[in-house]
Structure 1
Amino acid sequence: MPKLEQFEIKKYWQVFSGLKPIENKVNHDQVLPVLYNSKLDSSVLNKIWFLADIDDDDNLDFEEFVICMRLIFDMVNKNISSVPDELPDWLVPGSKVSLIKERKKREQIENADLPPKKEIKVDWYMSPEDLNQYEKIYSSCAKLTDGTLTFNELSTKLSTKFFNISKTDLNKVWSLINPQNLPSIDRDPTFYFIHCLRQRNDLGADIPTTLPNSLAEVCNKKQVSYDLGSSNPGTKRKEIVRKTDNLHDNVPSSNTESNSKNVSTNDNDIKEKYAYLTDDQVANMREQLEGLLNYKKNEKTQRKSNLYKSINISSITDDLDNIEQQVEVLENYLNNKKHELQSLQAEIN
């Protein structure tokens, strides 16, 4: 591993100065953009910060900042495969040698007094305070039209809150609470996803390999089926109603007790509303709307044959027209996205 060079120290000084240190020190929030730009795992960055913060004051002076930056660059450039448990002698500044010795003695004493490490299990009980906190996180996330959240959205949000979890932890917990490997999960599994990761972050709890039986039903929900051939159509109808209630008014609902409300489907408003969606999210939303459209069409056909039932045909027709318009707008939006992608690929080539 190459030693520190003078030009390297000058480069780190420029970065350090740009962070606007106070009394020759920068705190974690000031250094955070530099840490995230490295794209290293949060667990790796936490270990680097601990090694660099030799005086344990949660701040870095310039000498400590140099240590932090050098370890980050060595990891990014693959000069080292992992963060060392201790700083190499050549990286320890002369003014910090005594502090390093004191830290080692302190760690030896602390480790000698510690009892054997016990396995910490995840406690799945969520208190009202926990639920309130998780609700805030859930509300702050960008959801799909059915109210569900993707792995990318959740992992990005939680990585800024839980600094002691790694990408491996995120993947393990996602697989645990999403055994069907669905592209997105709804509110209840989301809460358990956050709850498990929080205990992993705060307590170092081990991630279990299986869910308790009491949670299996919550996390094994199946996708809503629009098949009218089911032996229990009443149950299917209830599932569909619950599903459409979560679409946040993106799909207009029918009203059999009063005249159907006119819903504005201005193309520009819809495009602006869905501007944050990726191609996969648009395709997923389109699939759901088409499924609901087919259901409505089949429902209309079936109810026509049941003459003894009085229904509001105009209400269903209005729903079909509105849904068809939204599907068309989404198709146009998806095509525009594809053209943009092709243009970018052409520019790259």
Structure 2
Amino acid sequence: MPKLEQFEIKKYWQIFCGLKPVENKVSHDQVKPILYNSKQDSSILNKIWFLADIDDDDMLDFEEFVICMRLLFDLINNNISTVPDVLPDWLIPGSKAKLIKQKRSNNPVTSTPKEEETKKAREVDWYISPNDLKVYNDLLTKSTLTDGSFTFSSLSIIVNSNPTHFINVSNGDIEKTWKLVNPKNSTSINKDPAMYFLHILKQNSDLNAAIPNSLPSRISNIIDKSEISYKVDSVPRTETTTRTSNTTNKNASVVKSQFENLLNYKKMESSSKSIQANVRVDSVIDDLQNIEKQVDRLESYLSTKKNELNSINNQINQLK
């Protein structure tokens, strides 16, 4: 049997929504017209239903509905001659794998070796096509925080609420992928690792690609990009900071001095170039303004650090 295709899942999703599911589930009565319109024997239809109803609640969620429709259409289109006794592994959603394993252990009669067609999981293809890039951008646009970052919760909602893209993804897959693209265990990640988070899970769902244990170095370099934090409050106030603050202040002073020198150089450069008719005045002004802003920011940062150091020294003196 060929594997599930993206267009196929979308078709099943349209049919599923047309049945007006309640709490993401449809009953046997709702699905019955589709089953009986297939003109298949009732015993065959019952077998398909019981195979699809993995949790035995006489209802089908979307993942189970996909199984039901796929078996039915494969039978109608002569892709299979009979309904299998057990679900092929590739048709088992990741979120249902544990339940299937429990059912098979409780019923060894139906527990058979993996089918011959089951293949070793593929490796993730790290290339993101333009089409996939557009899909990821559209999904991420709806869930970004005010600072443009993404939390585990917001990304999990994207995956769980878009079964057409992530039908075979389990919660375990989501957690493992989050840890993979978030090696620093931050509360949120920026857009680049969020893109690869979705890409890995889509490859896992579409191609049965295994969630990797590590990232290629070129992907790690993209994900590990870090930015300077200007939040002084994020530095814990301990005696160690008394020593590190001196170093920080020295470093800040050096950087400030470098920027001031660069600013003076730019001013002299702009002065000399103003004589030339073809000078790009706007560009020079922008450079000056940007440098001045950075000097101001560093001066403010240096002042805050000095105040913090004085405060720490006062606390130490009071304890003596």
Q: TM-score range by the shorter chain?
A: 0.3 to 0.5
TM-score norm. by structure 1 comes to: 0.41
- TM-score, normalised to structure 2's length? 0.44
